[in-house]
Structure 1
Amino acid sequence: MFRRIAAALTVATIPVSLLVAPAQADEPTADEPPAATVVPVQVTGDPAKRFNLVILGDGYTTGDMATFRQNVDRHLNVLWSIEPYKSYRSYFNVYRVEIPSKDSGVSCDPGPSSPKRDTPLSMSFWSGCRSDGVQRLLLMDNAAADKYAALVPGVVPANRQILALANSTMYGGAGGTFATASGGNALSALISPHELGHSLGGLQDEYDYYRRGVPGGPYSGEEPDSVHHTLLTEPQMLQQRKKWWRWLGERSEAGGRIGRHEGGMYFSQGIWRPSQHSIMKSLGYYYDQVGREVMTQAISRKTSLIQDATPAGTIGADRVLWVETLHPVSHPLRVSWTVDGRFAGDGHDLELRRLRLRPGRHTVSVRVDDPTDFIRDPDIRASFAQTRSWTVDTSIRTSPDTATPAFTTTTPTDQPVGADSVIYAETTHPATRAPRITWRINGRPVHADRDLELSDLPSGTHLVTATVGSTTKTWTVDAVAPTVTVETAQPPAKDQLTLRLNPADDRPGNVVAEFRVDGDGWYNYYGWPTDSNSPFLFTKEGTNIDGLIYGKLAAGRHTIEYRAVDAAGNHAEPRRVTVTLD
């Protein structure tokens, strides 16, 4: 969309403990709208130690609030289907702020002369209802957004991202300090990750135009600061080890090959981007590896790999050292211990008595890092690693404590987890003994530390339990892939093709359907840009909608693959259909 440059006002927050029930604003006066309600959608930990996504609604009356909830559900399920959000969704707390509006809808929708509506965030299209503005540039009152976001207890601007959804079916959004998106447009759920690419990751638009239908012209500036735009050739990137040189030649997650594709930053010539299309250029595709790497770094910067640890200082050799970490959904972090520089073990606890240290003083350190393949630069990946160190004095004896083994934080148990997820559990920390978690899958014991990696489960529903002390936690594992059926239709001339995908699942939640053509990048199936209930249309020239071409497909034989992703993150195996366009 657009990267909006706007100053955001800081905000005082309410420093209370982890939110466990909806919170409401103060009672309104006669001239004020009804009180807003904060609803926790996903809470994975203390908001002071998580990255918090606060979703505000604007232009939703009390009668529209069910629509707002549906829009949020769809936006989130699409977001969680896209990497790196899929792998790191456990780093997020998500809160929905329901703000009843006096009027339904937002201002200047669909035109700059359309009514201006009385809404809490004053959202408006056309760059704020300007006759010379850009239709899809959706602005709002940042101060009002700050005020409502401040209702979420324990969340501060430094670890918060605001996403505001407008009650509108018109395409639009904006990025910047905050992100905005249409709530009900067919493409709206894809606007959110695009705008978060701006607001959270600092990514630039890869559009080769500023106003649709008008080529952006040649770029005449110096080498841009943007990590995903360049003037360099591929040999120059490799020789100078700059920009996306580490990814060159690989198949792009957004389709095609990572190389040098002309156009970006609103210019059509003289500047190049990594992939033919990615979500920063064409809504529907994934981030390519370059954008995904930036977003992984951005999410990681908002949190701390080490969430808590044994207090620093000098301790006895009969003590248990411990560390609590974050827990990605897709893989465990790497935790390694050293004593005087030598490897001493891995895992979240280190029982010093088992090491039988020689008399004297020793230095014990722990290092936590993320072995993700999403960050290719080893120096950047290493920069996110965190360490803690302690001095161990074998002459010190640790006093007994009264701490008993129990769970502290775990993977939420109120929603099913996917068949390939990581389930985690953290415990209390008695001083001289490490609690042992007994994990079971369908009653069968399995070995794991604080992270249980699920894999190779047969299709069906499974139960995972974790027991420590006298407490047991239970998770339902959804190992049933979603289904998706396909409907294609062509006129007798076979000069066009309609594609309709019908995803479904055995559990509640929005199901995301995707397709790709001839092995290109997976593309989100949203229906048709102007109507989510209409099928996607392919023609040889494509269809021009507001200056963008959709569904252009050359004459000939094509293979269309399709699949679905359910709310738990399970992918259906791709199926395919072969079509011919004459």
Structure 2
Amino acid sequence: MRIRAGLCVAVLVAAGLAVATPAAAAPVDAATVVPIQVTGDPAKRFNLVLLGDGYTEADLPAFRSHVDRHLNTLWTIEPFKSYRSYFNVYAIEIVSPESGVDCDPGLSAPRRDTVLDMGFWGGCNPASVQRLLTVDGVAANAYADLAVGTTPGNRQLIALANSGTYGGAGGSNATASGGNALSALISPHELGHSLGGLQDEYDYYGRGVPGDTYEGPEPDSAHHTVLTERQMRDTRAKWWRWLGEPSEAGGTIGRYEGGLYLQRGVWRPSRHSMMKSLGFYFDQVGREQMTERIAGRVGIVEGGTATDQPVGADRLLWVDTLHPVSHALTVTWSVDGRAVPRTGNARHLDLRTLRLKSGRHTVTATVTDPTEFVRDPAVRRSPSLTQTRTWTVDTGVRTPPVAQPLAITDSTATDRPVGARDVVYVRTSQPADRVPRVRWSIDGRPVADTGSDRDVRLGALRLSRGTHRLTARVSDPATRAVVTRTWAVDATGPDVASTLSEPLLTTTRPGRPTEYVYNGPFTMGLTGTDDGTGQVTAEFRLDGDGWHNYYGWPTDARSPFRFTATGTDVDGLVYGNLGSGGLSVSPFAERSPGYGRHTIDYRGIDAVGNIGAAHTFVATLIPPPPACTRVVSGRHTGPLAVTTGVTCLRTATVTGPVTVAAGAALVAEGSTIAGSLASSRAAAVELLHTEVRGAVALTGTTDHVTMVGARVTGALALTGTTSAPILAGGQVGALTCTGGPAPVDLGAPTTVRGATGGHCRASGS
């Protein structure tokens, strides 16, 4: 049985495949804990701990590079991108005696002496599957404990193997091969399981083996259902609030059959998403649940004025909140259940302005996350996204004066630039009798309105490209003390350049995307550049579908992505499919060839989250030439008769006329025919960047006529062709079409120097 790497632990156990589980303690050799990102006390954050196995001392630079790629990819995917500040990240650098891991890539490969005992084939188990990459959970957790403050309850382990072979596994001890093209996409998928409680949306269990039919009740999974769209709307169930909207994973939120490892009888919200096809985003349904689970692991109210005893009405109250990267949490205040007006989302409330009646009162600060990622009111009201802090205020209590020096006690990190659309915040000292004043400036110019004096929404400033200097100036109205904090703002999006395989034809027109014609598979390499440091993550989309991470090719990150009419089967999955079903599909899924015109957009996301401008090109794929049974190259003197099979002229020069008999085919590439060309009931005629120094008369062609970049000195006469001839990017002396469909030009019309007759005139050829 073949198991898809990335299955959750429960599935692996059900399949009889052992996955190591945590233990309380284990011997630990020397290792180095590297804090990659620390946004707060580990007890109040969700902690990602990345460990390396099979990395020798000399391999540690590779481990650091693998960690960077995993994290930079993770931070481009929502909701991780918006809630990056809720995570602490630690890398545990462990030196293994030997390089590599066990049974890589096969059972006959040697065992390696490594600290975490990682291995393919479920730890070299012949009954397992090759890509199931396991780890010694006892050892992994012992090393993770070196990251002080992290525990099995507040962290996620990701063990990276020093390998370029595809593999991984899910659960609390997630694994991935560090150097594989797709490995950085395993991590967010596994977090979908372990952190988000999401299920796999595959319609197969073993790769290449179609799933059967779901026959159970309504699934507990938030993103699987047996209900129709109407039933979802009528009962307000599952993803009814998102139905009909463009999916963040491409297409439209609706009802797509297949999921839970089954092909029929159960439906998912999107054609593809992170939980079905690595490389796409979470759709809105999965993203909403991920948002709730991430926020639920941290607590959006962090502290503030103590609540353990009554406070006086002669002071200020303070509340401390978390700060997402993309937006600000909202704070509202109430007294005895009645809202306090015009508090302006402030993290403080001056009780002295309320003129409270004598006695005791209840004051509540309600903190809510207004993220657009959540639509379910029950989720919005849940403790994950709405929390309160409550004080008893006694007008008989007097607050003693306490000297407190002015300080910035917390803020958005300053050790790296912030993005041009980030929300930047400061937290100040919190005296009971006054409010430290915060004023923001950008490049020395005051920021007029930040929404709240404790944060600034950079996106509203519409900063010009380049690096800017953001400053928070905090002053104490009583002591006139001043403290400042400064950030570099990276307002320049990254750029991505494409490298395409050699096309059959290129067409450029002012103000339009460049168009390419291919008559076979073509490749696209993407390379990102940025004025800042860190990785540029490139992504692309096909025909307006979902943005897809660019990882090179699944078997080699250094190789370009390959597009074909029906995709390429790589280890039981299909990649680069231009046909029906989407870019990445199961090999048993029905799909028609994707010949025709396709629009491909590509862009980059830099290390601080800026999204660069998208570039676009158009690729038209036409069927490939028939296979040659005879090849002519160099000089052929005199006439050439093609009587049977497929004759191919490759950089050939024919000094006489060419004739093609019934049922035969001619494919001329980069060649010259000094005389005329004639055919009667030929199967196919293709002239690709070929010159004919005479007339061309093609009658009754039964399969196809393709002329791309061809030059015909004399007249071209097309009579009774079965399918629409392709005349693109060429030049002919005159053109006549009689019978059969009109020609198509693939966006690159053929120039006709003389007259145009028949239905060619109507087609514009």
Normalising to structure 2: TM-score of the pair?
0.72
- Give, in angstroms, the shift of residue 219 of structure 1: 2.4
Corresponding residue for residue 373 of structure 1 = 372
Residues 24-423 of structure 1: matches in 2 within 5 Å? 28=29, 35-312=30-307, 313-344=309-340, 345=343, 346-384=345-383, 385-423=386-424
Comparing 62-71 and 42-51, the one that deviates more: 42-51
Kept in 2: contact 1:178–1:199 (CA 8 A): no
Instruction: Evaluate the alpha carbon distance shift between residue 379 and residue 7 of structure 1 in structure 2; reply closer, same or farther with a 3 A threshold.
Output: farther
Q: State yes or no: 1:509 paired with 2:515.
A: no
Aligned equivalents of 2:445 and 2:353: distance in 1? 28
Instruction: Report the AA paired with residue 411 of structure 1.
Output: T
- Give, in angstroms, the shift of residue 438 of structure 1: 2.4
Kept in 1: contact 2:97–2:114 (CA 8 A): yes
Aligned equivalents of 1:177 and 1:232: distance in 2? 32
Corresponding residue for residue 18 of structure 1 = none
Q: State yes or no: 1:546 paired with 2:571.
A: yes
Comparing 321-330 and 382-391, the one that deviates more: 382-391
The alignment partner of 2:123 has SS state of helix
Aligned equivalents of 2:197 and 2:355: distance in 1? 50
Residues 421-440 of structure 1: matches in 2 within 5 Å? 421-440=422-441
Instruction: Evaluate the alpha carbon distance shift between residue 472 and residue 11 of structure 1 in structure 2; reply closer, same or farther with a 3 A threshold.
Output: farther
Kept in 1: contact 2:25–2:138 (CA 8 A): no
Corresponding residue for residue 480 of structure 1 = 492
Instruction: Report the AA paired with residue 461 of structure 1.
Output: T
Aligned equivalents of 1:166 and 1:234: distance in 2? 43
Kept in 2: contact 1:10–1:157 (CA 8 A): no
Instruction: Evaluate the alpha carbon distance shift between residue 112 and residue 270 of structure 1 in structure 2; reply closer, same or farther with a 3 A threshold.
Output: farther
Aligned equivalents of 1:232 and 1:124: distance in 2? 42
Aligned equivalents of 1:486 and 1:332: distance in 2? 37
Aligned equivalents of 2:454 and 2:436: distance in 1? 10
**Which of 452, 465, 471 is the matching residue for 1:459?**
465
The alignment partner of 2:425 has SS state of strand
- Give, in angstroms, the shift of residue 396 of structure 1: 2.2
- Give, in angstroms, the shift of residue 437 of structure 1: 1.9
- Give, in angstroms, the shift of residue 7 of structure 1: 7.2
- Give, in angstroms, the shift of residue 128 of structure 1: 2.2
Q: Which has the higher contact order (CA 8 A, sep 6+)?
A: 1
Instruction: Report the AA paired with residue 464 of structure 1.
Output: L
Aligned equivalents of 1:12 and 1:467: distance in 2? 48
Instruction: Report the AA paired with residue 352 of structure 2.
Output: R
Instruction: Report the AA paired with residue 45 of structure 1.
Output: G
Comparing 300-309 and 427-436, the one that deviates more: 427-436
Corresponding residue for residue 607 of structure 2 = 567
Instruction: Report the AA paired with residue 413 of structure 1.
Output: T
Instruction: Report the AA paired with residue 452 of structure 1.
Output: V
Kept in 2: contact 1:58–1:167 (CA 8 A): yes
- Give, in angstroms, the shift of residue 129 of structure 1: 1.5
Instruction: Report the AA paired with residue 4 of structure 1.
Output: V
Corresponding residue for residue 17 of structure 1 = none
- Give, in angstroms, the shift of residue 310 of structure 1: 1.0
The alignment partner of 2:294 has SS state of helix
Identity over aligned residues, as a percent?
60
Aligned equivalents of 1:362 and 1:267: distance in 2? 58
Corresponding residue for residue 9 of structure 1 = 22
Aligned equivalents of 2:217 and 2:113: distance in 1? 45
Instruction: Evaluate the alpha carbon distance shift between residue 441 and residue 561 of structure 1 in structure 2; reply closer, same or farther with a 3 A threshold.
Output: same
- Give, in angstroms, the shift of residue 490 of structure 1: 4.3
List runs of 5+ in structure 2 lacking aligned partners. Answer: 1-5, 11-18, 475-480, 505-517, 579-593, 623-765
Instruction: Report the AA paired with residue 51 of structure 1.
Output: F
- Give, in angstroms, the shift of residue 564 of structure 1: 0.3
Instruction: Report the AA paired with residue 483 of structure 1.
Output: D
Aligned equivalents of 1:450 and 1:541: distance in 2? 54
> What is the number of equivalent residue pairs in this alignment?
564
Aligned equivalents of 2:130 and 2:292: distance in 1? 32
Instruction: Evaluate the alpha carbon distance shift between residue 7 and residue 402 of structure 1 in structure 2; reply closer, same or farther with a 3 A threshold.
Output: farther
Corresponding residue for residue 22 of structure 1 = none
- Give, in angstroms, the shift of residue 377 of structure 1: 0.7
Aligned equivalents of 2:23 and 2:315: distance in 1? 43
Deviations 1:350-389 (A, max 9, x none): 1112333343332211000100111221111111311111
The alignment partner of 2:319 has SS state of strand
Corresponding residue for residue 21 of structure 1 = none
**Which of 482, 492, 495 is the matching residue for 1:470?**
482
- Give, in angstroms, the shift of residue 491 of structure 1: 5.2
- Give, in angstroms, the shift of residue 394 of structure 1: 2.2
- Give, in angstroms, the shift of residue 251 of structure 1: 1.0
- Give, in angstroms, the shift of residue 75 of structure 1: 0.7
Kept in 1: contact 2:198–2:286 (CA 8 A): yes
Aligned equivalents of 1:239 and 1:8: distance in 2? 43
How much is the aligned-residue C-alpha RMSD, in angstroms? 1.7
Higher Rg of the two aligned structures: 2
Aligned equivalents of 1:114 and 1:297: distance in 2? 43
Kept in 2: contact 1:285–1:524 (CA 8 A): yes
Instruction: Report the AA paired with residue 149 of structure 2.
Output: G
The alignment partner of 1:69 has SS state of helix
- Give, in angstroms, the shift of residue 201 of structure 1: 1.2
Kept in 2: contact 1:260–1:274 (CA 8 A): yes
Kept in 1: contact 2:20–2:136 (CA 8 A): no
